[in-house]
Structure 1
Amino acid sequence: MAYLLLFIIGLLSDVSSAAALYGKKDSFVQVLDAKSFAKTVVQSNELWVVEFYADWCGHCQQFAPEYEKAATAMAGIVNFAAVNDQSVMGPYGVQGFPTVKFFGEDKSKPVDYSGPREAKGLVKYAISQAKKVANDRLAGKSKPKKAKKETGGKSKKADTQAEGNEDDVVVLTGSNFDKLVMQDDKSVWFVEFYAPWCGHCKALAPHWTAAATQMKGRVKFGKVDATEEQSLAQRFGVQGFPTIKLFPAGKKSDSLAVDYQEQRETSSLVQFAEKYYSYAKEATQLLNQEDFEENCKNHVCVIAFLPHILDSGAEERNAYIKEYNAAVKANPGIPVHY
């Protein structure tokens, strides 16, 4: 059992360092899910280099800085995106990570990148593919699709800022923060520290409310006016606005708060919150293949193989489970299923 716990600790250390490869505020790499991929890449007239990746993948972690460099170099010329969504990968035959493809004129036939995993090779590849698209257009072999004009219905702004109920966002203060958030071991809390005068905070507000409504009953959303609650802002190291932190389920402490540095839009907020909501608080017993597929097919899983109850007895088996669950609960913010 000691070996098992050492293995878990080592794996958790590796996984925790892999969180959120992309999505920083100043990044030129757009992080897309299934819905945004279809709209942003497949239905667009633009040229895209797309990396299909997994946060836990060691090669992806090494590749990420080079991919960022290439995206910065090609900004305004060719778009770069990163996709960590299994439902998108299947149709494009993604079987390993990282996989990079160029989506040109015909989005149904992307071109694989097989060069070195470095910025220079990616830039050369992107320019080469863009040049081919331009030459095909000059030769009359292809032509760009006309952009669709928005007519009636919801505007793009309204679409990205889906409706939300302000009552679904809890107002947090110095007097209720610890009781509602820090002492709530069962819930995931997503908290925004904002300033009323902050323009970025005002732009985030409808997305924050919409995400809170979508995640109602699963993840709790709160907000702190950092100009009024300066002691809370100082306690959590808030130096700019908005600052967003997620408090995973389980025993909470200030040091376990997870900084959110991805895009400030509803879909990204929901995706991030969903990820932490899905992490098991106790180990799930796998009784059949269906249980295994549901819990481990698209996730990093740590599986404990215990002696049969007839070999160990109920008391010893329960001791194993208790010790295993203690390890699970000690790492509430790690993206692993048990």
Structure 2
Amino acid sequence: MVWKTALLLACAWTVCQAGEKDVLELSDDDFSTRIAEHEVAVVMFYAPWCGHCKRMKPEYEKAAPTLRANDPPVILAKVDCTEAGKETCSKHGVTGYPTIKIFRNGEVSQDYSGPREADGIVKYMKSQVGPSSKELASVADFDKFTSKEEVVVVGFFKEDSDLKKAFLKLADILRERVTFGNSADEAVLKKADVNDGIVLFRPKHLANKFEPATVKYDGAANKDAIEKWINKNYHGLVGHRTRDTSKDFENPLIVAYYAVDYTKNPKGTNYWRNRILKVAKDHTDFNFAISAKDDFQHELNEFGIDFVAGDKPLVFARDAKNRKFAMKDEFSIENFETFIKDLKADKLDPYLKSEPIPDDNEGPVVVAVAKNFDEVVTKVDKDVLIEFYAPWCGHCKKLAPTFDELGEKMKGEDVSIVKMDATANDVPSTYDVRGFPTLYWVPKNNKDSPVRYESGREVNDFVEYIAKHATNELKGYDRKGKEKKKEEL
């Protein structure tokens, strides 16, 4: 009995360490020889102290055994640039961490630009090796291919045809995003009951009674039409939205956030998904998805949610205009149905993340928050220069006294200097704010077309820009930004 327990523990340890062991640890001494042994390898050049590297490490290890077992295999490796791999990292121009490169037969092929989650890494690298559409030469191949835990698209072609040509062209284009297979085997065609056609197979863990497990293409032999069909059907009525696939889901979109986990708790995950499906099937003018609350905490923060207690989903929506809406009632099929009907009837107030409107806003720099943005930027009868900042941003802190000085210089002018904390307030979709500080010039006669400010950040740079672009010439400066003499005023 003791030896059986020991054996079980040993096996458990082996399983736990499988991913780590499947990632090759290479150094200056063996990098060149070992990497040349493999047709395709991915190498992560890292530093042990790097936060991004630490976050990616478990995902990398999770992807390794799956890719090693792929046909053809893809090997994952790593090199510590701070210790045994310094020379190798220098040779390959590594200046930041992690730097990830794809090697083919020992030589660098390209930089890795795919996802950094395990599933995404696997999917991306599978698309980089072998044909864009896998040939299914037997029923066994077909059964194995369609039992994948992902959507697959299979072309069944007894002979060459225009549909087959369009299918294979599209497979080449979409190989990084969609898994394609094709077959001309008589037994496979008979089992699928398709002679010249394309079928999308949904993974078994997403099977439900509200939509078919397979969808057959019935359009023209045109790759654009096939792509449109794939996009429409790929995620089904209620898709599993991950960080890797979030861009696939367009507005108008309704997302249910809860403990989505198809690895550890598929039954519990589908318990709630099936209830969402029951309602979603009657509202196909919206896109629906489920997302793991822990993976999308940043989105929950946009709705003022710092922590999700309990098991029931939280439901949030964005309409076609990207306005945000929150379902305030506890989740139930009845409440969910009411929320969607009210949303479609425009009976709900959009959710707006906003700081309170300042009691005193008479300073040289006007403070904008989401609730007063229209008042101080869009509707004010002045040109506006607005800075979107983050309180923790060093460049923003450095700019603050300059912006205050600029505000003083623009007193009495037909120009308003404004700042907004973009981390605490919803930024209108007209403004593309991805880093801090981001500045925009908003002409008073064209508030719908703000212009990103890309000039210098000294006071004189701002004055010259404003003087040149102001709708009305400034009282204190000419069009070149030169201060006017008193007799000119």
TM over 0.5: no
Length-normalised TM-score, structure 1: 0.34
> Higher strand proportion, which one?
2
Which protein is bigger by CA-based radius of gyration?
2
Length-normalised TM-score, structure 2: 0.24
The structure showing larger relative contact order (alpha-carbon pairs under 8 Å, at least 6 residues apart) is: 1
